[in-house]
Amino acid sequence: MFARVPFRQPVKPSPLLVGPFRPLFNQSATKTVISNNFADLSRIYEDGVNLCLIERRLPPTIEQFVYQALQDAGSIEISQPIDPIKFDFGRLWPKAAQLPGYQDWLADVEMLVSAFCELFDRREAGLRLRTLENAMCPRFHIDRVPARMICSYGGIGTEWLPEYALNRRKLGIGGCGLPDAESGLITDATAIRQMPAYAVSLMKGENWEGNEGHGLVHRSPKPTAVQPRRLLLTLDMM
């Protein structure tokens, strides 16, 4: 599916830990790939790319399944390693198994897990699948992982900031406890972006070798009266 060099964890200390001091905050160091070509996820290996966002339209059967599941199938919260070759995806969400479109949705989840493992040359992926009624991580932040895949099945998508619209020095404790809108973290509020529902987003975190100081800055969105719930899938390296 992908033409890429398999991901490997660094075997030597990061160059940030040796040699002369180098500032971390280079606003020209990151860029985003937005595409409708699934194979462009492999561009996450390019230096300077910290987000690959693949926009897509799913069959109406999946959209209808997700809508109905968020209405009638209750809540789900799963966090476990999954080998896409051995795992029985049919038991992923038993309460929703009788809804039309369940098998089509499962096939999409299985495809994403398989693609993630292939892209990073992994046998397993750390899968988290949950329904959300509140913003899980309401403040802008970075993830201390090499890379993470996100797909919002229905509901509001994850929000993120392009590099020109943020001051990384105000992340975390740098914000002095102030809300993001007041801390100086957001330098252009009109630039806040949102990942579309069903889009596949692959983002680099702080633990990707060479990406220290440039992990994607993102947050969970606030639910609305029109879209009060989300069905969120995330995949991590094991």
Q: Is 19 exposed, middle or buried (0-12, 13-18, 19+ CB in 10 A)?
A: exposed
pLDDT at 136: 74
- Across the chain, mean pLDDT equals 87
What does the pLDDT average to over 175-189? 93
* CB crowding 50-71: b at 16 or more within 10 Å, else e: bbbbbeeebeeebbebbbbbbe
The dihedral built from the CA positions of residue 148, 153, 155 and 161, taken in this order, carries a sign that is positive
Cross-strand pairs, 159: 194, 219
51 pLDDT above the threshold of 70 = yes
What pLDDT digit, counting tens, does each position of 198-227 carry? 999 999 999 999 999 999 999 988 888 788
pLDDT at 8: 43
Q: How far, in Å, CA of 216 to CA of 211, rounded?
A: 10
What are the structural domains, with CATH classification, of the chain? 25-237 (2.60.120)
Q: How far, in Å, CA of 215 to CA of 206, rounded?
A: 5
What does the pLDDT average to over 57-62? 93
pLDDT at 185: 94
Instruction: State pTM to two decimals.
Output: 0.85
What pLDDT digit, counting tens, does each position of 77-118 carry? 999 999 999 999 999 999 999 999 999 999 999 999 999 999
Q: How far, in Å, CA of 44 to CA of 53, rounded?
A: 10
3-class SS string, the chain? CCCCCCCCCCCCCCHHHCCCCCCCCCCCCCEEEEECCHHHHHHHHCCCEEEEEECCCCCHHHHHHHHHHHHHCCCCEEEEEECCCCCCHHHCCHHHCCCCCHHHHHHHHHHHHHHHHHHCCCCCEEEEEEEECCCCCCCCECCCCCEEEEEECCCCCCEEECHHHECHHHCHHHHCCCCHHHHCCECCHHHCEECCCCCEEEEECCCCCCCCCCCCEEECCCCCCCCCCEEEEEEEEC
Query: Pick the residue with more confidence: 214 or 27?
Result: 214
What pLDDT digit, counting tens, does each position of 111-138 carry? 999 999 999 999 999 999 999 886 678 8
Nearest to 107 by CA among 126, 80, 95, 89: 89
